[in-house]
Amino acid sequence: MERFQLAVEAQDEAFIKESLEGVNHADISAFLDEFDAKDSKYVLDLLDTETAADIISGLDEDVREQFLTSFEPGEIAEFIDHLQTDDGADILYELPSKEREEVIYSMENEKKAHDILELLHYDEDVAGGLMAKELIKANLNWTIKQCIEEIRKQAENLDKIYAVYVVDNNDKLLGKVSLKKLILTRDDTKVGEIYEDDFVSVETFMPEEEVAAVIRKYDLDAVPVVNLKGQLVGRITNDDIIDVITELAEEERQLMSGITDDVEEDDSIWKLSKARLPWLMIGLGGGALAAFFIGFYEEEIILIPAMSFFIPLIMATGGNVGIQSSSIIVQSLANPGAFEENMGKRLFKSLLVSIVNGAVLALMVYFVVLGINSDETIARVVSIALFSVVLLSSFMGTITPLLLDRFDINPALASGPFITTANDLLGLLIYFGVASFLYQFS
């Protein structure tokens, strides 16, 4: 990278071209992510337009948004003319409205410009915003010979052909036919006689996470997209869904870590701090409440100092159990329909698991405490409190994500500081409550 940077600064065209010759455009995109916009533009200007377009499409979104400011609308339009419609729309989403229109009007391919303009009407996070307009379709009244001739024409704009979609005269999707069947069937046979009507499709308004679930469930390479009238309007390929799954996983991981915004390591200090502070402040508030609870039982702790030794054990166990339970539920909720059937059975099973875990841990801690402190009462207090905390934390970890999901709040929030702080406080209340009860009657 250092040698390449020196070549860019010296404008050593021969070295730059030789270095990038034969390199996959995805690798060049990852490489240019490390350079500033000015240097990256200089490198791209040395490459052919089609290669440069693929490189720009592969850049990280945050880098690309900054990078595009170095280009005029006409230059961006030239790149988009060489990209598929979904990739072109992704780039235009990142531009201001005025510049977006200038780019569209500057495009030479009028049909592609019209298709991209149609895609921009959809939100980015629904099927309509993910789909590409490039696809192969055939009318059910065509003969096989006509169909193959049309495929040759339509395939010019496609890198891969996954299937030929069959439509009626109103473009309503009826089914699909494989290339193998087309090749093996007689030329004068009608397409309507051989297509398969057993197919999976998604609607333009379907959220991206549901589209991802459909493709994953049916193991599809591509899925057709239809509008409310059932007309074929585009297709979504599995490479687009991989991007969606990656983004959703990153978002959930950040939420589970207590980061509220979509941030990257190279974002500004203020943006990174703003994303982390809300949950840190909640954790701080929870810690203050925990201190209050401990202070409320100050007299009991003075009388029985050994009680303070096991506070960290109770709090840590409650937090860990809650995170385990909520993580399993969040994972299940990622698959639509996971809780539509046998919900009672799932919850009962979760209860049995927590009873077994609680009993094992309580039994272990009973003998450990008895070995450390010969006071049998404190051993009973800790073991009973621990068993109760495991049950309650498991319940909280199970029910909280379900409630958040019911109110359309990302359930991943339940696997972060929220559940940990809540279980810490509940654990303290149970611990001191059990201690008060047993010592009162001991």
Q: Provide the pLDDT for residue 322.
A: 81
Instruction: Please choose, from the candidates 109, 60, 58, 45, the residue with its C-alpha nearest in 3D space to the C-alpha of residue 80.
Output: 109
In DSSP notation, 378-399 reads HHHHHHHHHHHHHHHHHHHHHH
**How far is the C-alpha of 329 from the C-alpha of 338, rounded, in Å?**
10
pLDDT in tens, the chain (442 residues): 888 888 888 888 889 888 888 888 888 888 888 888 888 888 888 988 989 999 998 888 778 888 888 889 999 999 999 999 999 999 998 898 889 999 999 999 999 999 999 999 999 889 999 999 999 999 999 999 998 888 888 777 777 787 899 999 999 999 999 888 988 999 999 999 999 998 999 999 999 988 988 988 888 889 999 999 999 999 998 888 888 887 777 776 666 665 655 656 666 677 777 767 776 777 788 778 888 878 887 877 777 787 888 888 888 888 888 878 877 777 777 665 555 556 677 778 888 888 999 999 999 999 988 888 777 888 888 899 999 999 988 888 888 888 777 777 767 655 566 777 778 888 888 888 888 887 764 4
Give the dihedral sign, CA 330/336/342/344: positive
User: Domain containing 321 — which CATH number?
Assistant: 1.10.357.20
Pair 321, 432 in one domain:
yes
Pair 412, 282 in one domain:
yes
Quick check: is 129 in a domain?
Answer: no
Pair 280, 189 in one domain:
no
Domain limit, last residue, from 214, 237, 260: 237
Contact between residue 69 and residue 37 where contact means Cβ atoms under 8 Å apart: yes
Tokens 């995805």 identify what position?
26
Quick check: is 253 in a domain?
Answer: no
Q: Provide the pLDDT for residue 117.
A: 92
- E strand or H helix that includes residue 202: strand 202-203
- E strand or H helix that includes residue 225: strand 222-226
Indicate the residue type of 161: I
Q: Is 141 exposed, middle or buried (0-12, 13-18, 19+ CB in 10 A)?
A: exposed
Quick check: is 167 in a domain?
Answer: yes
Sheet with 173-177: list strands edge to edge: 137-139, 164-167, 173-177
Pair 26, 107 in one domain:
yes
Pair 313, 434 in one domain:
yes
**How far is the C-alpha of 80 from the C-alpha of 75, rounded, in Å?**
9
> Structural domain of residue 199, as residue ranges?
137-237
Pair 184, 282 in one domain:
no
Pair 24, 149 in one domain:
no
**How far is the C-alpha of 151 from the C-alpha of 201, rounded, in Å?**
21
Neighbours of 352 (CB within 10 A): 10
Domain limit, last residue, from 62, 92, 123: 123
In DSSP notation, 277-314 reads HHHHHHHHHHHHHHHHHHHHTHHHHHH-GGGGGGHHHH
Pair 117, 155 in one domain:
no
227-230 long-range contacts, CB within 8 A, separation 24+? 227/203, 228/203, 228/204, 229/170, 229/172, 230/172, 230/173
- β pairing state of 222-226 and 202-203: parallel
User: Domain containing 181 — which CATH number?
Assistant: 3.10.580.10
Quick check: is 51 in a domain?
Answer: yes
Quick check: is 259 in a domain?
Answer: no
Q: Provide the pLDDT for residue 442.
A: 47
- What's the pTM? 0.67
- E strand or H helix that includes residue 224: strand 222-226
Two tokens, residue 121: 């009407």
Quick check: is 128 in a domain?
Answer: no
Distances, alpha carbon 201 to alpha carbons 165, 174, 422, in Å: 11, 11, 42
Residues with Cβ within 8 Å of 165's Cβ and at least 6 positions away in sequence, in order, are 135, 136, 137, 138, 173, 175, 176, 224, 232, 235
Per-residue pLDDT of 176-230, as tens digits, reads: 998 889 889 999 999 999 999 989 999 999 999 889 889 888 888 899 999 999 9
Max CA separation in the chain (angstroms):
97
Pair 310, 398 in one domain:
yes
Pair 153, 280 in one domain:
no
Q: How many residues appear in the chain?
A: 442
**How far is the C-alpha of 365 from the C-alpha of 188, rounded, in Å?**
80
**How far is the C-alpha of 183 from the C-alpha of 328, rounded, in Å?**
48
Quick check: is 148 in a domain?
Answer: yes
Number of domains in the chain: 3
Instruction: Please choose, from the candidates 295, 403, 118, 371, the residue with its C-alpha nearest in 3D space to the C-alpha of residue 110.
Output: 118
Domain limit, last residue, from 91, 123, 155: 123
Quick check: is 130 in a domain?
Answer: no
User: Domain containing 116 — which CATH number?
Assistant: 1.25.60.10
Tokens 């308004």 identify what position?
205
Pair 202, 350 in one domain:
no
**∠ Cα 299 305 308 (to 5°):** 95
In DSSP notation, 24-57 reads -HHHHHHHHTTS-HHHHHHHHHTS-HHHHHHHHH
Instruction: Please choose, from the candidates 354, 357, 381, 399, the residue with its C-alpha nearest in 3D space to the C-alpha of residue 436.
Output: 381
**How far is the C-alpha of 298 from the C-alpha of 222, rounded, in Å?**
64
- β pairing state of 137-139 and 164-167: parallel
Q: Is 338 exposed, middle or buried (0-12, 13-18, 19+ CB in 10 A)?
A: middle
Pair 375, 233 in one domain:
no
